[in-house]
Structure 1
Amino acid sequence: MLLSAVGVVTALFGLIAVAVFSPILSLRTVVVDGTNRIDPAEIQAAVEIYTGTPLALLDFDAITEELSVFPLIRSYVTEIVPPDTLLVHVVEREPIGSVQVDGVFRLVDPAGITIQESAENIEGVPVISVGGADTSSPAFAAVTEVLLSLPADVGGQVVSATATTKDDVSFVLSGVGQRVVWGSASDSARKAALLARLISLTDAGRAGEFDVSAPSNGIFRPS
């Protein structure tokens, strides 16, 4: 009886070993999704060096190291699809604006990571100026927090944003260049709602300045 049980266990482990090491369950196909700025073929090539490795024995630490050379990858998730496929779901870094350094415009994400560089102003994102400080400064963090708090329709109008400290954020809207005095990033949700209300009540063609630095008492000052 004991020998019979041992035999069953041995056979079971044998079957598991065959399944794990079988070439049928080895990596043959890498599928990448979620990319926009990154060429998915480059990610595939980086992972395909493990082609032929049994899926159960893939070294995901090594794959992480291979993908670390892509600065535009913010995060990713892998998914094994038997019998031979590995899916790589990529989340790319999203730009928040551009900063000018030594005459070069750097498209950056909210963490200050450079996504791309250009000799020309990058359209579609605001130019961020933080008084000569870098993207690790409190001023930059405050600007990004404010920009992220804006409704999409308002955020899409921002052409430039500035701050010299974390408490004096301001930005300029497209059109006639209406300026917004924001102050610190605190109470940004209330300030964003107040700004949207003021914009709806103000002629878009009227130059001036919105001041929402006191979220309970916003004002528009014509110029």
Structure 2
Amino acid sequence: MALVTAGSLAVLALIVAIAAYSPLMAVRTIEISGTQRVSAGEIQASLSDQIGVPLTLVDRSEVGAVLGAYPLVQSYSVQTRPPSTLVVTVVERTPIAVFANAGRFDLVDAAGVVIETADAAQPGYPIVTTPTGGASGAAFRVIAQVLRTVPASLAGQVTAVAATTGDDVALTLSNGSVVMWGGSDQSALKAVVLEKLMAAADPATVRTYDVSSPQAAVTAPR
């Protein structure tokens, strides 16, 4: 009985192995999800070498090398779905700000990677000014941290951000008011304090909100 069982298991393992490497279990379809700015069709074409490869032999490092050529791709995951589908899920970089650059405008993410360049500033994102003139250095790193903690109710009103160091971030709002944010420390508390200050007085009457020391935040009238 033991010999029969062992033989059956061996046969089953052989069948599974043959099936795994069979053309019937090879990649015939490549699904791309999560793309907005990157063309899913372009990525599919770039991965066309995977067509016909058995699912068990798909080389994830090769897939990663292909996706690494797309600067807008921040991360990705690769899965195989029997009998014949390669599934690639992409996470694109999230834009946070715009830099003026030689008469054009670079839309960048929190790491300073350029997502797109246009002749006009991309709407909905603040224009950033730093000592380097670009998305590098301590000032931009702090600006990126601050922009991620600005209250959602306020984010759409921020039209410009400037900093000369990591401790003097200033946000300009669409109504002309300026928020003196300071550094990235206590940003969660600063966001709460700022919302309270903005609710306490008509924004049209306020020139500056200074939350750089949130326990002693002050406003200045126009």
User: Residue 218 of structure 1 aligns with which residue?
Assistant: 217
Q: Secondary structure at the match of 1:216?
A: helix
Task: Give the drift of 1:33.
Answer: 1.2
What CA deviation, in whole Å up to 9, does each residue of 1:160-215 have, x standing for no partner? 0000100110010112x100111111010110110111111121322500000111
CA contact (8 A) 2:193 2:214 kept: yes
Cα distance per residue 1:108-128 (max 9 Å; x no partner): 000000000012122110001
- Find the counterpart in structure 1 of residue 63 from structure 2: 63
- Which position in structure 1 is the counterpart of 2:187? 188
Residue 23 of structure 1: aligned partner: 23
Q: Determine helix, strand or coil for the equivalent of 1:165.
A: coil
C-alpha distance in 2 between matches for 1:18 and 1:153: 58
Within 2, Cα distance between the matches of 1:2 and 1:150?
A: 69
CA distance in 2, matches of 1:207, 1:188: 21
Return the alpha-carbon distance in structure 1 between the equivalents of residues 12 and 150 of structure 2: 59
Distance in structure 2 (CA, Å) of the matches to 1:129 and 1:142: 12
Q: Which amino acid aligns with 2:146?
A: V
Distance in structure 1 (CA, Å) of the matches to 2:74 and 2:24: 33
Q: CA deviation at 1:4?
A: 5.2
Partner SS for 1:128: strand
Matches within 5 A, 1:12-51: 12-51=12-51
Letter of the structure 1 residue corresponding to residue 95 of structure 2: P
1:75-114 per-residue CA deviation (whole Å, 9 max, x = no partner) reads: 1112221111111111110001011222221100000000
Residue of structure 2 equivalent to 1:199 = 198
Aligned length, in residue pairs: 222
| Pairwise CA RMSD | 1.6
TM-score (normalizing by structure 1): 0.93
Match of 1:181, SS state, is strand
Q: Whole-Å Cα distance in 1 between the matches of residues 103 and 150 of structure 2?
A: 28
- Confirm or deny: 8 A CA contact 2:206 2:219 kept in the other structure: no
What is the aligned partner in structure 2 of residue 137 from structure 1? 137
Q: Distance in 2 between matches of 1:2 and 1:149?
A: 66
Q: Which runs of 5+ in 1 are unaligned?
A: none
Aligned twin of 1:110: 110
Q: Does structure 1 conserve the Cα–Cα contact (< 8 Å) formed by 2:160 and 2:171? A: yes
Report how far residue 132 of structure 1 moved.
2.7
Name the amino acid aligned to 2:179: V
Q: For the residues of structure 1 that align with 2:86 and 2:69, how far apart are their CA atoms?
A: 19
Change beyond 3 A, Cα 1:55–1:90? same
Q: Secondary structure at the match of 1:105?
A: strand
Runs of 4+ in 1 over 6 A off after TM superposition: none
Query: 1:158 — aligned with what?
Result: 158
